[in-house]
Chain A
Amino acid sequence: MTKPYPNNKNRGQILVITSLVVVLLLMSTIVYVTETQKNVPIYHPDANIDFIAVKQAVMHTAVSALANISNGGATSILHDDLTMLNSAVTDLSYSTFTGFEATPSNEAPYIDGVWLDWGATGQGVSSILIEFALNSSGNTASCYIQHIINVTSSIAVNSNYIPINESQKQVTVLCTLFTENGFASADKIEYYYQQDSPNLWVQATTPVITNYGNGTYQAVFTTQNTTQINLPISVHCQDGRAVSIWTNTTSTQT
């Protein structure tokens, strides 16, 4: 009785086992490569969008504080508001944020982040400057971003008049409003002039206001009891963000 050929019968099985071993090796290689790729720090561009959300919150905080301070609030409000925002940002579980710091700038002419210049030059400025930094670190990336937030409302005023009689003048005031983004619209503008007999500031009643639509407003009104050659004018304005800006100037005869 001849023995069958065991080698021939087992040959296929060995090949199957060999191929399975090869497949296992390939599988482990693929898994290793995939896991290694996961651990590589990759900067995800979407991380910047969280930065944009926080930057927007800081910007709104600055606008709110400027509206408050320019209407008579204490300058410490800015610091208090930023503290509240800081608390909200750190409390919120943004997946990547670990540090947030916003500080009012003391770079001249700002003091505690605030600069109000309501002089007699026909130029008025209400402004806030904040420096803030975000230290962001997550599973896949970490980054540190510094940024400056500037919120500014300003006004430029020119004026001249035509004498009507000895004590009356027809005054024309041209004022232009700006924000940090360009021309701005006004919510409210009040015009004052200084009488000389008696010597007091009087609000112009029923001024005729023309809105040119590009941040420029022209007002025409008639003054009483004004005999002076150079007429002091004061403009009190509130822009669309409720930020107040004042300025004084002198109206001269055309």
Chain B
Amino acid sequence: MRRFLSNKRGHIRVIEAFFASVLMLSSLALIPAFQDYSVASEGSLSSKARNILVSLDSGGQLANLIDQRNWTTIESLIRSCISPTLWFNVTVFDNNHEILNNRLISSGSTIGDHIEVYEYICASINATYTVYTIRLQLGGLN
């Protein structure tokens, strides 16, 4: 018993093991937090893209602009809706999935590796009915 009490090596190892466990547990506790962050970030850009397109087309303006092939105004409208820190690229398809925009509708080169896409069905309100698909890509830093 005396020998056991005088031997401190076992105690140190117990303390080391305890700290190792705490370290591992704390790193484990952080993993779900990072996972949640990345999921929220993933949804937010496509959700933003969806909100932008739904709002801009609420009165059928987007379809009218596409009918007129007015890509400059579409680019200006989308640019005015998003933060300057975000990158965007728009592609417009007709109902045969052919690309309609003959010029790039974009804010330039990408500024991050995190890009999300939302595709929106844009129905014309004119008497001559047309359905377009607008693909809006949003990118930013993760």
Contacts and interface: CB of A to CB of B under 8 A. Distances in A.
A16 B133 CA distance: 61
Contacts of B57: 56, 60
Sorting the interface of chain B by its residue count into under 10, 10 to 19, 20 to 34 or 35 or more gives 35 or more
A78 B111 CA distance: 44
A19 B15 CA distance: 11
Interface stretch (B24-32, B75-83, B84-92, B98-106): B24-32
B9 A64 contact: no
A88 B25 contact: no
A71 B7 contact: no
Interface in B1-32: 3-4, 7, 9-10, 12-14, 16-18, 20-21, 24-25, 28, 32
A26 B21 CA distance: 10
A40 to B, nearest CB: 14
A60 B123 contact: yes
Contact of A53 (B18, B32, B120): B120
A60 B63 contact: yes
Interface in B101-142: 119-129, 131, 133
Contacts of B4: 8
Sorting the interface of chain A by its residue count into under 10, 10 to 19, 20 to 34 or 35 or more gives 35 or more
Nearest to A78: B129
Given A23-B24, A60-B63, A63-B60, A242 B127 contact: yes
B121 A85 contact: yes
A242 to B, nearest CB: 6
A7 to B, nearest CB: 9
B100 to A, nearest CB: 14
Interface in A45-67: 46, 49-50, 52-54, 56-58, 60-61, 63-65, 67
8 contacts: A15-B14, A27-B24, A27-B28, A34-B35, A46-B47, A63-B60, A64-B124, A91-B97
Interface of B: 3-4, 7, 9-10, 12-14, 16-18, 20-21, 24-25, 28, 32, 35, 43, 47, 50-51, 53-54, 57-58, 60, 63, 95, 97, 119-129, 131, 133
